[in-house]
Chains A and B, each alone.
Chain A
Amino acid sequence: GENVEQHPSTLSVQEGDSAVIKCTYSDSASNYFPWYKQELGKGPQLIIDIRSNVGEKKDQRIAVTLNKTAKHFSLHITETQPEDSAVYFCAASFSNDYKLSFGAGTTVTVRA
């Protein structure tokens, strides 16, 4: 099955700086890569996703890049704010069954 690895496990940044989280996946058939933000005691919230026919996608301060050849994708958050502090999960799936395989998560702390 699919195996998704996520790094780093924790990330502390100064407010206004950028944060980058990287994930690798094992199954070359995976074609959908969402990113979720989870606050304490809440369910994951979809923040951005990318499909394998696209190399980069941006939504305001958030961007995701995908390198299919290397089988890795990254989340970039610019101009970080304290409310960006949360646990971020990457995931991968293939459209035959839509099952998401999640990374281990990255705890992001934005220092004011």
Chain B
Amino acid sequence: GAVVSQHPSRVICKSGTSVKIECRSLDFQATTMFWYRQFPKQSLMLMATSNEGSKATYEQGVEKDKFLINHASLTLSTLTVTSAHPEDSSFYICSAKGGGTDTQYFGPGTRLTVL
């Protein structure tokens, strides 16, 4: 299957700071990338959909000014958690799909801990 990477794998930050998470498709061009959040022992919740070169579409209840998404190229999308608070601590996972397919490949996830 296709390979999607995320960086960093885990990050610890202080409350009030911003954290950037990168998602890369390594062996295919990702026309669409998705960002999910997963709390312990729970399912994946879609946060936003990003298409290369256009603004991200956020799911209801997700603050677009808090979770900034940039999909600058066909292989890279970034999620920036701004002014992070302890309640933002979670497992953030991206997925990517190429054009002409509905198959999504997931990254390994980023564990964010906000102190």
Total interface residues on B, using CB and 8 Å? 22
Quick one: CB contact mask for B23-44 with A, threshold 8 Å, 1 for yes? 0000000001010000000111
Inter-subunit contact A49/B103 (CB<8 Å): yes
CA distance A51 to B36 in the complex (A): 23
Provide 21 A-B residue pairs closer than 8 Å at the C-beta atoms, listed in order of the A residue: A32-B102, A41-B109, A43-B6, A43-B93, A44-B106, A45-B1, A46-B103, A46-B105, A46-B106, A89-B43, A93-B102, A95-B102, A98-B102, A99-B34, A100-B34, A100-B44, A100-B46, A102-B43, A102-B44, A103-B43, A105-B42
CA distance A41 to B44 in the complex (A): 13
Inter-subunit contact A98/B44 (CB<8 Å): no
Size bracket of the A interface? 20 to 34
CA distance A98 to B99 in the complex (A): 11
CA distance A104 to B6 in the complex (A): 24
Q: Report the minimal beta-carbon distance from B113 to chain A, rounded to whole angstroms.
A: 13
Inter-subunit contact B46/A99 (CB<8 Å): yes
Q: Does B108 reach chain A (CB closer than 8 Å)?
A: yes
Please pick, from A44, A46, A98, A103, the residue contacting B32 in the complex, using a CB distance under 8 A.
A98
B window 1-36: CB within 8 A of A: 1, 4, 6, 32, 34
Inter-subunit contact B103/A42 (CB<8 Å): no
Contacts of A83 in B (CB 8 A): none
Quick one: CB contact mask for B69-108 with A, threshold 8 Å, 1 for yes? 0000000000000000000000001010100001111111
CA distance A93 to B34 in the complex (A): 13
Contacts of B43 in A (CB 8 A): 89, 102-105
Contacts of B102 in A (CB 8 A): 32, 51, 93, 95, 98
* CB-nearest residue of chain B to A98: B102
Please pick, from A45, A99, A104, the residue contacting B106 in the complex, using a CB distance under 8 A.
A45
Inter-subunit contact A36/B106 (CB<8 Å): yes
Q: Does A97 reach chain B (CB closer than 8 Å)?
A: yes
Q: Report the minimal beta-carbon distance from B107 to chain A, rounded to whole angstroms.
A: 5
